[in-house]
Amino acid sequence: MIEFNRAPFVGSEMKYIQKAIENGKLCGDGPFTKECSRWIKERYHSKEVLLTTSCTHALEMAAFLADIRPGDEVIMPSYTFVSTADAFVLRGAKIVFVDIRPDTMNIDETKIEEAITDRTKAVVPVHYAGVGCAMDEIMELAGKYHLKVIEDAAQGVHAAYKGRALGTIGDFGCYSFHETKNYTMGEGGALLFQDSAYLEQAEILREKGTNRSKFFRGQIDKYTWVGYGSSYLPSDMNAAYLYGQLKEADEINHKRHAIWNCYHENLEELERKGCLTRPFVPDYDVHNAHMYYIKVENESVRSALIQYMKEQGILCVFHYVPLHSSPAGSKFGRFCGEDVYTTRESERLVRLPMFYNLPLDDAWKVTRAIENFFKQR
């Protein structure tokens, strides 16, 4: 069976986990948490980085720091994971969904302005499949209407837009290190921001509402409860696993691109014949090979393809059900404008197996199976 996903493993992770155990520091903000944060800061040129327990929690922190309040509106695509919306719903915001671009599956930057009202507080671009949204246009709108931009870069680690790392362009960026991502710590994430004025409040929020971080830096002689907070610190043992992967980030990236390119090259002929559509990456983007998907004619063909591939011992899957069509989406949000592409394109999309340890021979087998499926139709 060719699996759809498997958590990446490069081999050095166990060495660092052993070191974390020997350090006797398994809770949050240990040596490996600091090393991972430093690596992300330096590699992606981010002023501030706080490792978190998940990208969901990074988004929750961003919503708090952006001062999202009940009655505020937050604009985002409907084609995204529930965490993108949950973080703002928890703050009492109304979610305003807009349509996506059919080429990248990202938020359609031309639909944002018509969704802005006097209650709009933020825009959340989601970098689908590690392909950057049109950030210049989004940042220009944010400046014009005084909005916060919170990048959901869960899938965007090690990808860039016009030379800038995804997650470092808006006011806040949120990374995921879930086991399904390019680099993992099992469960984990990171919050990135460039304005250090947010740092003290972010640390208090992350440390259960205390100024404990300042205490450990020797800036105060004791720490206390000073405001609202929760516990967003990952275990240093999880961070040790991640550190092993970040040290091999280029190798992981290289292998994933080799798989992505194998799919892209071998499926070109099927696209030319009109059987499917391959992913599109704009010239201004450097993607991270997070995902390889194809789009077929409709949902019926998709279901048949997924079933056929399963019979061949290959697991392929669909992706998000648009949030605006869900019960919670109707309760907590609304769709602005016409749903031209969100539902239609989501019903066509199939994700192919993609993970670091996937042999290239297996990727080739996947493409041969897809070819055989269309030959039989």
**How high is the pLDDT of residue 225?**
86
Is residue 227 very low, low, confident or very high in pLDDT (cuts 50, 70, 90)?
Answer: confident
- The pLDDT-based confidence of 184 (bands split at 50, 70, 90) is very high
Which residues, including other chains, have CB under 8 Å from residue 308's CB and lie 6 or more apart?
369, 373
Lowest-confidence pick of 182-196, 207-221, 284-298 = 207-221
- Looking at residue 354, its pLDDT comes to 98
Q: Which of 197, 223, 246 is the last residue of a domain?
A: 246
Nearest to 87, CA basis, from 159, 176, 212 = 176
pTM beyond 0.85: the answer is yes
Structure tokens at 206: 């992350």
Last residue of a domain, one of 184, 219, 246: 246
In a domain, 4, yes or no: no
Q: Measure the CA angle with vertex 208, ends 202 and 212; round to 5°.
A: 75
Task: Identify whether 6 is part of a domain.
Answer: no
Query: Are residue 83 and residue 27 in the same domain, yes or no?
Result: yes
**Full residue range of the structural domain in which residue 351 is found:** 249-375
Is the domain of 344 the same as that of 369?
A: yes
pLDDT above 90: residue 284: yes
Domain termination residue (choose one: 179, 213, 246): 246
Same domain, 241 and 254: no
Residue 265's CATH number = 3.90.1150.10
Q: Are residues 230 and 88 in the same domain?
A: yes
Task: State whether 103 and 38 are in the same domain.
Answer: yes
CB 353 within 8 A of CB 2: yes
pLDDT of residue 210: 85
Can you tell me the mean pLDDT for 86-106? 98
For residues 169-201, b (16+ Cβ closer than 10 Å) or e, as one string? bbbbbbbbbbebbbbbbebbbbbbbeeeebeeb
Q: Judge whether 7 lies within some domain.
A: no
- What CATH number is associated with residue 103? 3.40.640.10
Query: Which pLDDT score, from 0 to 100, does residue 338 have?
Result: 98
* Whether pLDDT at 224 is above 90: no
Q: What digits encode the pLDDT tens for the residues 315-368?
A: 999 999 999 999 999 999 999 999 999 999 999 999 999 999 999 999 999 999
Mean pLDDT of the residues in the chain: 96
Judge if 174 and 269 occupy the same domain: no
Q: Are residues 235 and 276 in the same domain?
A: no
Distance in angstroms (rounded) separating the CA atoms of residues 237 and 253: 23
**Residue 221 pLDDT exceeds 80:** no
d(CA 255, CA 74): 37
Kindly state whether residue 5 falls inside one of the protein's structural domains.
Answer: no
DSSP state of 321: P
> Are 216 and 118 in the same domain?
yes
| Position 18 pLDDT exceeds 90 | yes
**226 and 88 share one domain:** yes
**In-domain check, residue 233:** yes
Section 238-243 average pLDDT: 98
**Same structural domain, 254 and 241:** no
**Does residue 140 lie in a domain region?**
yes
At 74-91, the pLDDT tens digits run 999 999 999 999 999 999
Number of helices (H), then strands (E), in the chain = 14, 13
Residues 280 and 299 reside in one and the same domain: yes
| Statement: residue 123 has pLDDT above 80 | yes
Q: Are 315 and 79 in contact (CB under 8 A)?
A: no
Q: Are residues 240 and 277 in the same domain?
A: no
Name the maximum alpha-carbon separation found in the chain. Answer: 74
Q: Residue 215: pLDDT above 80?
A: no
> What is the structure's pLDDT at 43?
98
What's CA 186's distance to the chain center, in Å? 15
Are the C-beta atoms of residues 161 and 135 closer than 8 Å to each other? yes
Give the integer Cα–Cα distance in Å for 100 and 81. Answer: 14
How many structural domains comprise the chain? Answer: 2
Instruction: Specify the pLDDT at position 212.
Output: 76
Is residue 3 included in any domain, yes or no? no
Examine residue 283 and state whether it is found in any structural domain, yes or no: yes
